[in-house]
Structure 1
Amino acid sequence: MNLEPSEAAAEYGRQALRAFEAAGGDRLVQDAEREPARRHDLVAPVLEELGAWDLDPRGDADDLEAAAALCRSAGHWALAYPLAERLARPAGPGTDGLLVVDGPAPQAPVAGLGLRWTAVTLDGRRGAAVAAPPPGPPRTTAFVTALDVGPLDRDGGGDGGGDGGGDAALGLVLPCWTLLGMLDRAMELTRSHVLVRHQFGRPLAEQQGVQFQLTDAEVERSGVEALAAYALWSVQAGLPEALDDALALRLAALEAADTVFRTAHLLHGAIGFCDESPLSWLSRYSQPLRRLPLGLSATRDRLTRQIGRRGLTGLFPGATA
């Protein structure tokens, strides 16, 4: 088991980061919110140049690592586009992306794209999904809209073939890589802020209380990074517990997001909630990832019921308490 990404995937992620920056960087999400009809056109040329749609995350381990690195780079810039969901698309020509759904009123941040979606439940049942018209402007909805999900298949196979449980695992893991990219950027912005801001005649970064808060937030972020690599490997290997690992990753990512964004906003102060700060956009567009398909409490409850008393296999199987 090697939890370090390949150098090729890491380099692909770095190239994607630079490509998004050259295409507008922070302006990409701002322009998408201001002109929702251009949401796809703003990022489509970049994704095509990067060969995003040539990746086969389901069929090739290297492509799965590259897809994860691409999602992380997209998260760094808070890209207002369901990239992870499109990369997780099932095999077959009848769909453009995969959405994990839960509950009687499924939603997803896919408003206004006109794409064909496949929905999958956490127990692996699949069905076609159609996005409803946006309920309001992106400023208040972050492109989240209701989904009309058709009849779900009974065996999780769907028309595109494959494993419905594996669909759910992949559909949970890749968006967590996007969220990880957002946590990376939030920490980067906060470090830069406390280095240049002064209080009582010295940089905020020199204050011990600030250092403790940043350390706690970085521990949470780095923990998610390790779990994201493990969950990705679990999906790659087709392990029977891949869904357990995906839920564990999602739980850790949501807990870390609470800590990281709380610390970032606290240390930025009021400016962190203003559009002049990239942190404001990151925080706002992290909300769909953090709330859908399950929020923190619901994810914890689902994982608890999923694993029961057997616990997680994890890196050290066979260990006893």
Structure 2
Amino acid sequence: MNTELVPEAAEYGRQAVRALAAAGADTLVQQAEGEPARREKLVAPVLAELGAWELDVRGAADELQAAAALCRAAGHWAAPYPVAERLARPAALDADGLLVVADTAPAAPVAGLDLRWVAVSLDGTRSRAVAVPDGTAARESAFVTGLALTRIDGAGAADAALGLVLPVWTLLGMLDRALDLTRAHVGVRTQFDRPLSAFQGVRFQLADAEVERAGLEMLAKHALWSLSATPADALADALALRLAALEAARTVFRVAHQLHGAFGFCDEAALSWLSRYSRPVRRLPLGRSATQDRLAALTGRQGLSGLYGDGNGGDFP
């Protein structure tokens, strides 16, 4: 399996980072938090200009990779818009986006958006979803709101797998940025007339965080491959990816906040915004323990197939 994105997808992601930076960079999420009704106007036109909604994520492997790169770019800036959810929209239904939801208390970060949603549970049950605002401020909710569901016909197991994988790419972009910010911070802050980056303990912490982030990146690429090449294993691989993402996020944000100190929780620090708006991806549809339970129930004693479970390798699609 080739673990590199195709060059076109990688370049698309770089262009998306630049486009979102030109549109406001870190101020996008700050503006959206202050005026949630502006979320659509702040981000959607940039994505449309990039041709995001023309990507055929279900029919073309290279375009699925481009979609993943776009999600990662959105995470880099904590873009206040459900990019992954919109890219995962069902092909055969009249909807603007797809939300993977829990069996109880369904919710998603879609407050303030006038869009048509389809929800899918991890057992493949599909429903029409309508946001039910509760008046909670965006600063507290990170745009998460409850959903009212109306069940519709059809199984959506493939929807659930795709809907789990793409948001992890958004989270991966957040972890990329969190580590970049932390490296920069410890490079300029000094203690005992030495930069923090010169201390061995700091280096060890950064190394631990980078190992988690790099491992997640490899698993995220494998999950993309699985969606196209081994659809029967895609949901298990997606749940395994999500579990790894939650563990990696815990380590990376813990290290980032420890090394930033109190400053990392201030609005002046970009890390504070990244950390706050990573919560919806990390908590929905399931947290770490519930994700682990669902993965164990799905795979049973057989476990995951893995890259070479059938004795055959493969090329990244």
Query: In which range does the TM-score fall when normalised by the shorter chain?
Result: over 0.9
Q: State yes or no: 1:308 paired with 2:300.
A: yes
Q: Deviations over 1:167-221 (max 9, x none)?
A: 0000000000000000000000000000000011100001000000000000000
| SS of the residue 2:278 aligns to | helix
C-alpha contact 2:125 2:151 (8 A) present in aligned 1 = no
Q: State yes or no: 1:185 paired with 2:177.
A: yes
- Which range moved further: 298-307 or 265-274? 298-307
Q: Residue type matched to 2:159 in 1?
A: D
Q: Residue type matched to 2:85 in 1?
A: E
2:97 counterpart residue number: 97
Matches within 5 A, 1:134-149: 134-149=134-149
| SS of the residue 2:231 aligns to | coil
2:272 counterpart residue number: 280
Q: State yes or no: 1:198 paired with 2:190.
A: yes
CA RMSD of aligned residues (A): 1.1
1:80 counterpart residue number: 80
1:250 counterpart residue number: 242
C-alpha contact 1:135 1:141 (8 A) present in aligned 2 = no
2:157 counterpart residue number: 165
1:266 counterpart residue number: 258
Q: Residue type matched to 1:168 in 2?
A: A
C-alpha contact 2:98 2:163 (8 A) present in aligned 1 = yes
| SS of the residue 1:228 aligns to | helix
- Which range moved further: 310-319 or 141-150? 310-319
Alpha-carbon distance in structure 2 between the residues aligned to 1:96 and 1:223: 32
1:214 counterpart residue number: 206
Q: Deviations over 1:98-157 (max 9, x none)?
A: 00011221000000101110010101111111111243110111000000011253x51x
2:46 counterpart residue number: 46
With normalisation by structure 2, the TM-score equals 0.96
2:19 counterpart residue number: 19
C-alpha contact 1:85 1:99 (8 A) present in aligned 2 = yes
| SS of the residue 1:316 aligns to | coil
1:317 Cα deviation after fit:
1.4
Alpha-carbon distance in structure 2 between the residues aligned to 1:92 and 1:246: 22
1:238 Cα deviation after fit:
4.5
Alpha-carbon distance in structure 1 between the residues aligned to 2:80 and 2:149: 23
Alpha-carbon distance in structure 1 between the residues aligned to 2:15 and 2:290: 36
C-alpha contact 1:106 1:146 (8 A) present in aligned 2 = yes
1:59 Cα deviation after fit:
1.1
Alpha-carbon distance in structure 2 between the residues aligned to 1:22 and 1:143: 23
Alpha-carbon distance in structure 1 between the residues aligned to 2:150 and 2:281: 23
C-alpha contact 2:165 2:238 (8 A) present in aligned 1 = yes
Alpha-carbon distance in structure 1 between the residues aligned to 2:104 and 2:262: 37
Q: Which has the higher contact order (CA 8 A, sep 6+)?
A: 2
Alpha-carbon distance in structure 2 between the residues aligned to 1:104 and 1:5: 36
Percent identical among aligned pairs is 68
1:239 Cα deviation after fit:
2.3
Q: Deviations over 1:80-105 (max 9, x none)?
A: 10010000000135111000011221
C-alpha contact 1:134 1:144 (8 A) present in aligned 2 = no
C-alpha contact 1:166 1:238 (8 A) present in aligned 2 = no
1:3 Cα deviation after fit:
2.1
With normalisation by structure 1, the TM-score equals 0.95
Q: Residue type matched to 1:34 in 2?
A: G
Rate the CA distance shift 1:238–1:91 in 2: closer, same or farther, 3 A.
farther
Alpha-carbon distance in structure 2 between the residues aligned to 1:263 and 1:140: 23
Rate the CA distance shift 1:314–1:29 in 2: closer, same or farther, 3 A.
same
Structure 2: gaps of 5 or more residues = 312-317
Q: Residue type matched to 1:187 in 2?
A: L
| SS of the residue 2:124 aligns to | coil
Q: Deviations over 1:20-49 (max 9, x none)?
A: 001000000000001111110001221111
2:286 counterpart residue number: 294
Alpha-carbon distance in structure 1 between the residues aligned to 2:194 and 2:152: 60
1:316 Cα deviation after fit:
2.8
Alpha-carbon distance in structure 1 between the residues aligned to 2:12 and 2:21: 14
| SS of the residue 2:212 aligns to | helix
C-alpha contact 1:16 1:70 (8 A) present in aligned 2 = yes
1:236 counterpart residue number: 228
| SS of the residue 1:112 aligns to | coil
| SS of the residue 2:129 aligns to | strand
Rate the CA distance shift 1:22–1:134 in 2: closer, same or farther, 3 A.
farther
